[in-house]
Amino acid sequence: VQPDAVGLDWFLTKVVPHLRPDFRIRIAGNMPSGVTSTHPGVQFVGRVADAQAFVRGAAVIPLISTAGSGVQLKTIETFELGLPCVATSRSLRGIGYRPQNCVVTDDPVAFAAALEAAAADIRDADGSAFHCRQVRALDAAIGLGLERLGAVRREVAA
C-alpha cells in the first residue's frame, strides 16, 4: 500500500466524519481503487491541469501523511506558497520549521476542528500576505547575515 493511500484512508475514515456536512473537500490526483466517502462535501476531481492553481484555490490544505519516509514535497510547497494548513506530525518529518499558519495534530477530531477553523479564517486565503511577510523576514535575515559576515571579514583582514 502506498503511503499516500494510507494517509488518504486515515483522512477519509477518521477525520472527514467529524467535519460539518456543508464543509467542502476537493481531492485531486489519481485515486487508489475503491476510495469513496459518504460525506456530502467530498468531491474527487481526478487529475487537474494546474496543480498549483488548484492548491491556491483552497482555503486550507490538509497535509495528511501517516506513513512513508523522507521530506514531503507537498508540505514544502504548501509552506512555500504561504497557504494555511493542518498537518499530521508525520507530514512534517525532516522539516525543522513550521509556519504560524500551520496547525499540527494527529488527533482526527482536532484535525477536523482545525480545518474548519482555518477555512473560516479567510483573511489571507491565497497566502500572498503570509508569503510577503516570509520574504521580508528572509531579506532581513540575509541582511543580518551579510552584516555579520562583513564584520568577520574586517576582523580577519586586520
- Domains, the chain: 3-126 (3.40.50.2000)
Q: Which amino acid is at 83?
A: L
Instruction: Note if the pTM is more than 0.85.
Output: no
Average pLDDT of every residue of the chain:
87
Output the pLDDT for position 32.
78
Q: What is the CA angle 98-105-118, rounded to 5?
A: 75
Output the pLDDT for position 1.
52
How many angstroms separate the Cα of 45 from the Cα of each of 12, 84, 132? 15, 21, 31
Decide which of 89 and 145 is more confident: 89
Output the pLDDT for position 42.
94
The pLDDT tens digits for 60-87 are 999 999 888 888 888 888 888 888 999 9
Closest alpha carbon to 64 in 115, 99, 22: 115
Task: Measure the CA–CA gap between 118 and 59, rounded to whole angstroms.
Answer: 7
**Residue 30, C-alpha cell as written in the block:** 489519481
The pLDDT tens digits for 80-131 are 888 899 999 999 999 888 888 899 999 999 999 999 999 987 665 556 666 7
Q: Which amino acid is at 36?
A: T
